[in-house]
Amino acid sequence: MRAFVFDNYKQPVHEAEIPEPAVGDRDLLIRVEAAGLNHLDERLRAGEFKAILPYKTPLTLGHDLAGTVIRTGSKVTHFVAGDRVYSRPRDHRIGTFAERIAVDEADVSLAPTSISIVEAASLPLVALTAWQALVEKGNVQAGQKVLIHAGAGGVGSIAIQLAKHLGAEVATTVSGKNADFARELGADVVIDYRTQEFETELSGYDFVLDPLGGDNLAKSLTILKRGGKAVGISGPPTPTFAKSAGLNPVVRLAITALSRRIRALAEKLGVSYEFLLMHASGDQLRQITQLVDRGVIRPVVSATFPFDQTAHALASLGTSSIRGKAVIIGADQSA
């Protein structure tokens, strides 16, 4: 079947013929009708996550999908052929830039019925990231003050909506041209990162979601009140994460050194920092589905690409600035 793969880290993505997926007892064989594009795909290809998320090459990329179940494994209990579903397949079983994929049923949910299959494909990775940051790690409560960086992006646009649903007062950073868009999503305070310094404008926050890392993360710690928390999805990873992920001692030592500065700053300020590498969860997707179908969360898709332009679409992620997500139309749909 057709798929988009890279042969070695830092090598370009290209179309290839790969074997049909093996379908295990608890797997669903899914026809990929749409697949979300994520910066994680490009960063993985570039080798940025090789130490904490090693893959054998050649590798088919793609972390999001929406499509139709073709058949099920013998022990599958919650899905049948013909179901419209969406998923973020678990690590080491990714590969949605392909015609078909086998996914563990635990990673799958019925797709929301109120949106298109393309919109559904845009959601799994970013919605799960927002959920795990705000609900699992942040335990965000009504009345708290939350800062979401990059509010017009894939994660940010969903996180703003989720934080408002949780009852938080939400601030976000965007470019000036996206200020009205961020307010439409529910942001109460909008900072133009090109003309304003959020660290001088904001203070006393309970929680920050930071997808940028580096100096932006360090500045974010300073706007938290004592006891507040920042969650980063670009890093640096922490020793706690390295231990829970079962990484080898050499990598754990490197991560300890890499994160020492930010951990020391957090301790000095009386706040905490956690690194999030989101995980697949069909259960959480089902909760997200309910929020989508109730109109609480709406997906934001600003660009679509036909399947045969997948390599070009991935390469464009680093050079274009779109609102929300871009989505690949499945091979059968774009033929």
Percentage of the residues of the chain whose pLDDT score is greater than 90:
93
Give the pLDDT confidence of 26-40 residue by residue, as tens digits. 999 999 999 999 999
* Per-residue pLDDT at 235: 86
* Pairing assessment for the beta strands 100-104 and 27-36 based on DSSP bridges: antiparallel
Residue 179 phi, psi dihedral angles, 5° rounding? -65, -45
* Per-residue pLDDT at 91: 96
Look up the pTM and report it: 0.97
User: Which of residues 331 and 261 earns the better pLDDT score?
Assistant: 261
| Strands (E) located in 202-321 | 205-210, 224-232, 272-275, 301-305
Give the pLDDT confidence of 244-258 residue by residue, as tens digits. 999 999 999 999 999
Provide mean pLDDT across the span 277-297. 98
**SS3 assignment, position 130:** helix
Q: Quick check: do 2-123+299-334 and 126-275 share a fold?
A: no
User: Structure tokens of 326?
Assistant: 């871009």
List the one residue out of 37, 189, 188 whose CA is nearest residue 122.
37
Mean pLDDT computed over every residue of the chain: 96
User: Which of residues 107 and 335 earns the better pLDDT score?
Assistant: 107
pLDDT at 217 over 80: yes
Give the pLDDT confidence of 35-83 residue by residue, as tens digits. 999 999 999 999 999 988 999 999 999 999 999 999 999 999 999 999 9
Give the pLDDT confidence of 79-108 residue by residue, as tens digits. 999 999 999 999 999 999 999 999 999 999
- Band of pLDDT at residue 322, cut at 50, 70 and 90: confident
- Band of pLDDT at residue 319, cut at 50, 70 and 90: low
Percentage of the residues of the chain whose pLDDT score is greater than 70:
99
* Per-residue pLDDT at 335: 52
- Band of pLDDT at residue 331, cut at 50, 70 and 90: confident
* Per-residue pLDDT at 317: 84
Task: Give, in words, the CATH class of 126-275.
Answer: alpha beta
Domain residue spans of the chain: 2-123+299-334, 126-275
Which residue type occupies 32? V
Burial class for 122, CB neighbours closer than 10 Å (0-12, 13-18, 19+):
buried
* Per-residue pLDDT at 334: 55
Pick the CATH number of 2-123+299-334 from 3.90.1150.10, 3.40.50.720, 3.30.9.10, 3.90.180.10: 3.90.180.10
* Per-residue pLDDT at 320: 64
From 35-39, 237-241, 311-315, 319-323, the region with the lowest mean pLDDT: 319-323
pLDDT at 314 over 70: yes
* Per-residue pLDDT at 321: 73
User: Structure tokens of 218?
Assistant: 């360090």
* Per-residue pLDDT at 333: 76
* Per-residue pLDDT at 281: 98
Which residue type occupies 115? I
Angle subtended at Cα 195 by Cα 192 and Cα 198, rounded to the nearest 5 degrees? 60
Residue 173 phi, psi dihedral angles, 5° rounding? -110, 130
Q: How far apart are CA 160 and CA 266, in angstroms?
A: 24
pLDDT at 137 over 80: yes
